[in-house]
Chains A and B, each alone.
Chain A
Amino acid sequence: MAIVAKFEIHHSQYLDPHGKAVQPLPEFARDPQNLAALYRWMVLMRTYDAKAIALQRTGQIGTFASLLGKEAVEAGVGSAMAKDDVFLTTYRENGAQLMRGVTLKELFLYWGGDERGSDYSGPRRDFPMCITIAAHATHAAGVAYAMKLRREPRVAVCSLGDGATSKGDFYEGLNAAGAWRLPLVFVVTNNQWAISVPRSKQSAAQTLAQKAIAAGVDGAQVDGNDVVAVRHAMDQALAKARSGGGPALIEALTYRLADHTTADDASRYRSPDELAEAWKLEPILRLRTYLMEHGAWDKAKEDVLLRECNEQVQAAAQAYLDTPPPGPDQMFDHLYATLPAALQKQRAAARGED
């Protein structure tokens, strides 16, 4: 029997859980100030996350999907993308969205049940969060096709989770990206859990990265708790896609340190021991350790940063709370470019005019 195809999946890590560099850092990470900038973002994300959960617990926003534990994935993706790229996300990528210019107030508005939160003032071409799992993998293929057709040096970035890789839409989008060599980078955040279903039950595949290989797409795995590894993999994938080299998939291994959403209770299906072990690998501590050991961070800076992040998040939450709720017209506004006559009657009824 002849072997007709062979593949291997590479895993990369630069900073280990103790904050030690396990191999020479890539160019951008050699200046600790660059890493300190990413660290600041990651702390802002965690502050935002804690505030959102507090707002939900006090009935001030609706169900919220925490990003706790994936700050390194967020910072790696958000910092690597160019302004004119297009980000297509799920509901757990608020960190990268912040870095792309979505405001904290918009995020609070969104989770507070107000569609005005998806009218991003910063990244006007970025897609709203995709709630139906993996559908946006096909949208991303369309976006990337448009970019390629117009010969633009832009890339579509589609981020999704481990559970999403079981869906047909994921394979359909990935397959199309391979078939047309589209400028499209898939980021699979493998946080080990799709609500209550663990990665081991999601797929018999050894890695999720290898699903890309079947579609003729480059696939690689990185330590998703290591912002250097995520950022470097993104830099390489984006540069290749931007210059016509085609798509890539990055599987970022991390752990969902929170419940699936505020409506979930993960203690029903996973052990406290597993969670405690995962905390030892979390992304922020290792980066802070590295920065402190390289003289780029200290307690004074940390105190200032925490205060600034709290103030920023607090102000945004207040701005959301101060936003008057929309009136019934909002149901009809923007449904079509021009509201059809048939719906004008329904709008009148919603206004109480009928």
Chain B
Amino acid sequence: MAQITLVEAINLALKHEMERDASVVVLGQDVGVDGGVFRATLGLASRFGPERVIDTPLAESLIAGMAIGMAVEGLKPVAEIQFSGFAYTVIDQILNHAGRMRHRTRGRLSCPMVLRTPCGAGIHAPEHHSESPEAMFAHIPGIRVVYPSSPRRAYGLLLAAMRDPDPVVFLEPTRLYRLFKEEVADDGQAMSLDACHTAREGTDITLVTWGPMVQTTLAAAADLAEQGIAAEVLDVATLKPLDMDSILASVARTGRCVIASEEPRTASFAAEVAANLAEDGLLTLLAPVRRVTAYDTVVPYSRLEHQYMPGKDVIVTAAKKVLAFA
């Protein structure tokens, strides 16, 4: 079994599925010869040819719109938007068309496409390259929103996304792309979507998180362990539809919860998790739920980004406040 990075795991999943299913095509800016600006599609063009690994004109709405047309017409397109900051123009296509196609035609047509886009801050990128748009996508009916946090998860979840009969927005944490390696078996095994994963077991407090913040939160949990606190870390992985049952079950055991995400705070996906806990888990809670998020500011340019992104210490502090609540 090979030790690979998260971005290599994405590449491996794409390669596996393109080999297995001739209807899978990859499209986006610079995904061909260049292998994508992050090299997620490296080597695919030479292996599968330029007809299936498609360098598109520089037009994001076209990339998403074409993927819709291809999916309806029977292909399995995996579209790449180069950075999430450029993905906002495709929200029109995803919201008005991809997410509605099956519904508005009463199941006559469907739209099994994947839209991949790198997200999050922390890689000293230019402006508009560091956003966390998960809540915007999670607000859209008829789609799935998936956010892997490790090489193994990226491989299994991307395979699942490509095999899903409905549109999937697949967010990729840029700062984890090459942060660490894991053993990933190229066994073609898809993970199940719509399910949280327990990233670390614990009994004292539940830390709910996803995407790039999973590593930060695991680091916080390790710090807490040194202080004798056993934190359970849940990796939400599929934000929409949300596996709230697993979160509620964990919180029912621990009685305490911190939600950690990198989004602006207002109307964040973290707020959605907190609202669900208030509605359905209040009586199991021993303390108020706290959110650890970024600020309601624009994502600052790279010199300030580490003051913007919530670090492990903020999570530790929040967890201790929740634990201190009598």
**Residue A124 lies at the interface, judged by CB distance under 8 Å to chain B:** yes
**Residue A179 lies at the interface, judged by CB distance under 8 Å to chain B:** yes
Smallest Cβ distance from B14 to chain A, in angstroms? 17
Closest A residue to B96 by beta carbon equals A132
- B-side interface size class: 35 or more
A135 touches B93 (CB 8 A): yes
In whole angstroms, how far apart are the Cα atoms of A176 and B59 in the complex? 9
Stretch at the interface among A56-64, A276-284, A340-348: A340-348
B61 touches A176 (CB 8 A): no
In whole angstroms, how far apart are the Cα atoms of A334 and B106 in the complex? 6
**Residue A15 lies at the interface, judged by CB distance under 8 Å to chain B:** no
**Residue B290 lies at the interface, judged by CB distance under 8 Å to chain A:** no
Write out, one digit per residue, whether chain B residues 54-66 have a CB within 8 A of any chain A CB (1) or not (0): 1011010110111
Interface centre among A124, A127, A135, A146 (most CB of B within 10 A): A146
Complex contacts, A86 vs chain B, CB 8 Å: 73
**Residue A320 lies at the interface, judged by CB distance under 8 Å to chain B:** no
In whole angstroms, how far apart are the Cα atoms of A172 and B110 in the complex? 23
Q: Pick from B61, B108, B110: contact of A138, CB below 8 A.
A: B61
A135 touches B96 (CB 8 A): yes
In whole angstroms, how far apart are the Cα atoms of A343 and B142 in the complex? 10
B142 touches A146 (CB 8 A): no
Write out, one digit per residue, whether chain A residues 127-145 have a CB within 8 A of any chain B CB (1) or not (0): 1101110011111111111
**Residue B201 lies at the interface, judged by CB distance under 8 Å to chain A:** no
- Which A304-343 residues have C-beta < 8 A from chain B? 333-337, 340-343
B65 touches A336 (CB 8 A): no
Smallest Cβ distance from A255 to chain B, in angstroms? 29
Closest A residue to B65 by beta carbon equals A138
Task: Indicate whether A176 sits within 8 Å of B104 (C-beta atoms), given known contacts A142-B73, A335-B142, A343-B241.
Answer: no
B106 touches A116 (CB 8 A): yes
Number of interface residues of A (CB under 8 A): 45
Smallest Cβ distance from B33 to chain A, in angstroms? 16
Smallest Cβ distance from A272 to chain B, in angstroms? 37
A115 touches B69 (CB 8 A): no
**Residue B228 lies at the interface, judged by CB distance under 8 Å to chain A:** no
A149 touches B75 (CB 8 A): yes
A337 touches B59 (CB 8 A): no
Smallest Cβ distance from B32 to chain A, in angstroms? 13
Q: Pick from A116, A143, A337: contact of B69, CB below 8 A.
A: A143
Smallest Cβ distance from A133 to chain B, in angstroms? 11
A176 touches B66 (CB 8 A): yes
Q: Pick from B51, B73, B103: contact of A125, CB below 8 A.
A: B73
Interface centre among B25, B57, B93 (most CB of A within 10 A): B57
Complex contacts, B97 vs chain A, CB 8 Å: 130, 132, 135, 139
**Residue B70 lies at the interface, judged by CB distance under 8 Å to chain A:** yes
B106 touches A333 (CB 8 A): yes
**Residue A298 lies at the interface, judged by CB distance under 8 Å to chain B:** no
**Residue B188 lies at the interface, judged by CB distance under 8 Å to chain A:** no
B51 touches A149 (CB 8 A): yes
Residues of B within 8 A of A (CB): 25, 51-52, 54, 56-57, 59, 61-62, 64-75, 77, 92-93, 96-97, 101-110, 141-142, 165-166, 194, 241-245
Q: A119-B108, A142-B68, A156-B69 are in contact. List 14 more A-B contacts (CB 8 A).
A: A88-B69, A115-B103, A115-B106, A130-B97, A132-B97, A135-B61, A135-B92, A138-B61, A138-B65, A139-B72, A142-B72, A176-B57, A176-B59, A341-B241
Q: List, sorted by A's number, 14 A–B pairs whose CB atoms are closer than 8 Å.
A: A132-B97, A135-B65, A138-B65, A139-B97, A141-B62, A141-B69, A142-B70, A145-B54, A145-B69, A146-B70, A168-B61, A172-B57, A336-B142, A343-B241
The 7 closest A-B pairs by CB, nearest first: A142-B69, A138-B65, A142-B66, A340-B241, A172-B62, A139-B69, A337-B165
